[in-house]
Amino acid sequence: LQQLLFKKPNEPPMVFHWFPVLGSTITYGMDPYKFFFSNREKYGDVFTFILLGKKTTVMLDTKGNNFILNGKLKDVNAEEIYAPLCTPVFGKDVVYDCPNSKLMEQKKFVKFGLTQEALRSYVRLITSECEDFIKRHKDFKGQRGTFNVPKVMAELTIYTASRSLQGEEVRNIFDSSFAELYHDLDMGFSPINFMLSWAPLPHNRARDRAREKMIQTYGEIVRKRRSGAVKKDSHDMIWHLMDCKYKDGTPVPDHEIAGIMIALLMAGQHSSSSTIAWILLRLATKPELIEELLAEQKAVLGEDLPPLSFEDLSKLPLHANTVKETLRMHAPIHSIMRKVMQPMPIEGTNYVVPANHTLMSSPGVSANMPEHFVNPSNWDPHRWDAGLAAKFEGQNDEDTIDYGWGVVSKGTQSPYLPFGAGRHRCIGEQFAYVQLQTILIAFVREFKMRNPGGSREIIGTDYASLFSRPLAPAIVEWERRHKEN
Ligand code: HEM
């Protein structure tokens, strides 16, 4: 009956629900993957559900990923969905508070700022932040102990990302004023803000104050640097943006530099801290793999484990595959959304997705389907040994498009897309890999790790925020490899 009342002919099947506005919000929100997989069984790869009163059409598997992520600008739009949440956090005139063509230019600035030289310097800075962190953190005193992985990794990644990408001044104020501002700003991404981001609630007032203060702080950093009071001796993104010009010749205004830096901080922080937490939590269920990683480092770099360089990272495939496999099972972004701008027929079916529907893509579904990955619920970095990566790369090569910030596959058929695809694809992938591998290497060198009592259980996922992450607390036991000095 519900299908007849609410569904027009040619619309995809509607997921059954009892309450009109609430729809499937709760079941989706509690465990999106469970929701996707169980409805896939009932309805197939295309179905519609009600999310906070909005008709939301999900399209799964490689065809669905491609339909949504490579959709044309006239058909699908990201900023209509993301701006209410993001603009009060990032500020005016950046990312989703500007035409898409401007976002493409801003992405190009950042992408081109992440040069080999910059990344080379980041490996050194991240390594030294890790070493200092381990030395001074209260949870790492003595020869053995335990730590709450998601919490500790959130602290560490903020230091590593700010020291490298954000620059020394930002890193130095993170210990004091910035940490609080960051926290208040982050409240802007609370789930309640999917509906109430504009509301004058206390957390939104705090968010707005924090944004203004942050924009002001970045502005002061830029002005001080421009005045010549600070020597240009680093490769952080602020220096780079200060030299960038839009196609029409205008330099990037100070408030836009600030907005881009805030966006990078937010986009990078949650995704990276959740991923490194999952990496360590997964490794703690297979401690023998930690020893294998150490053996790889020793075999490739030398028994005495010399200081790490950027070039070393590409020589350590098991480390890279550990990151890769973790992103397959624990992609921090479980749902990617677009607004439908005009009716979109779906090839090979008689469905037409009407204008104003939200389209939802979840590349994490194809990455966990047995059709694409043997025994998908088994976390095994070695599955990537046998040329699996090469197989996917082949699928991406044929048809490409240049978005100005990089050449991206147009018709991606890969089931593995943790960084998205198309014009909104991630530009932080390389930075994320550099950061995650460098932290992983530092921890493998310093510690043996295992689950409490040697258990092989893995903790569940917290889907309550925009980015998914391990449920906290998630405690792991560590033992120092050498005597503490
Ligand atoms: C976009 C994932 C790290 C900056 C995206 C998208 C995904 C993603 C799936 C596409 C979103 C969409 O299509 O709506 C990840 C993962 C990361 C990561 C899994 C780490 C493990 C980073 C880092 C930065 C960053 C470190 C910054 C340095 C961005 C930006 C976009 C983006 C600027 C573009 C948004 C747009 O065009 O709409 N990321 N990301 N990401 N990411 Fe990342």
Q: How confident is the model at residue 158 (pLDDT cuts 50, 70, 90)?
A: very high
φ/ψ of residue 35, rounded to 5 = -60, -45
Residue whose token pair is 């009956």? 1
Average pLDDT, stretch 354-365?
A: 97
- Mutation test residue for ligand 1: of 426, 430, 436, the one with most atoms within 8 Å of CB: 426
Residue type, 277: A
Token digits for 473? 């607390």
Four-CA torsion 168, 171, 175, 177, nearest 10 degrees = 90
Give me ligand 1 centre to Cα 243, in Å: 23
* Residue 397 predicted with pLDDT over 80: no
Task: Tell me how far the alpha carbon of residue 39 is from its chain's centroid.
Answer: 25
Instruction: Place 28 in a pLDDT band, splitting at 50, 70 and 90.
Output: very high
Within 114-175, residue ranges assigned H as helices are: 116-136, 149-161, 168-173
Asked whether 455 and 263 are in contact (CB, 8 A), the reply is: no
Give yes or no for a contact between 400 and 409, defined as CB atoms under 8 angstroms apart: yes
pLDDT cut 70: percent of the chain above it: 96
Q: Is the pLDDT of residue 2 over 60?
A: no
3-state secondary structure of 374: coil
- Name the closest-CA residue to atom 32, ligand 1: 426
Burial (0-12, 13-18, 19+ Cβ within 10 Å), 359: buried
Looking at residue 7, its pLDDT comes to: 64
Tell me how far the alpha carbon of residue 63 lies from the centroid of ligand 1, in angstroms.
Answer: 21
Inter-CA distances, 6 with 104, 165, 232, Å:
38, 49, 61
Determine the Cα–Cα distance for residues 275 and 253; give it in Å rounded to an integer.
33
Q: What is the mean pLDDT of residues 83-106?
A: 97
Q: Check if the beta carbon of residue 57 is closer than 8 Å to that of residue 12.
A: yes
pLDDT of residue 5: 54
Distance between Cα 424 and ligand 1 center (Å) = 8
Question: Per-residue pLDDT tens for 244-273?
Answer: 999 999 999 999 999 999 999 999 999 999
Distance separating alpha carbons of residues 429 and 92, to the nearest angstrom: 25
Helix, strand, coil share (%) of the chain residues, nearest 5? 55, 10, 35
Q: At what angle do helices 287-301 and 317-329 cross, to 10 degrees?
A: 150
DSSP tag of 138: G
Structure tokens at 401: 């498009």
Residue 328: pLDDT band (50, 70, 90) is very high
When pLDDT is cut at 50, 70 and 90, the band that residue 6 belongs to is low
Cα–Cα distance measured from residue 185 to residue 376, given in angstroms and rounded to the nearest whole number: 36
Q: Do β-strands 54-59 and 358-361 pair in parallel, antiparallel, or remain unpaired?
A: parallel
- Flag whether pLDDT at 390 surpasses 70: no
Q: Given this model, what pLDDT does residue 386 score? A: 74
Give me the pLDDT at residue 446, please.
98
3-state secondary structure of 18: coil
Distance 267 CA to ligand 1 centre (A): 6
* pLDDT score for 394: 55
Q: How confident is the model at residue 191 (pLDDT cuts 50, 70, 90)?
A: confident
CA of 355 to the centre of ligand 1 (A): 26
Q: Which residues contact 227 (CB under 8 A, 6 or more apart)?
A: none
- Centre a 10 Å sphere on the Cβ of residue 6 and count the other Cβ atoms it contains: 14
Q: Which residues line ligand 1 (CB under 6 A)?
A: 78, 103, 107, 264, 267-268, 271-272, 275, 327, 331-333, 336, 418-420, 424-428, 431-432
The answer to which of 6-20, 237-251, 319-333, 437-451 has the lowest mean pLDDT is 6-20
Mean pLDDT within 87-97: 98
Which residue in the block uniquely carries the two structure tokens 């937490």?
277
Q: What is the pLDDT, as a whole number, of residue 337?
A: 97
Q: Does the structure show a pLDDT above 70 at 476?
A: yes
Average pLDDT of the residues in 91-119: 97
Buried b (16+ CB within 10 A) or exposed e, 426-455: bbbeebbbbbbbbbbbbbbbbbbbbbeeee
Residue 41 has pLDDT above 90, yes or no: yes
Query: Over the chain, what is the mean pLDDT?
Result: 93
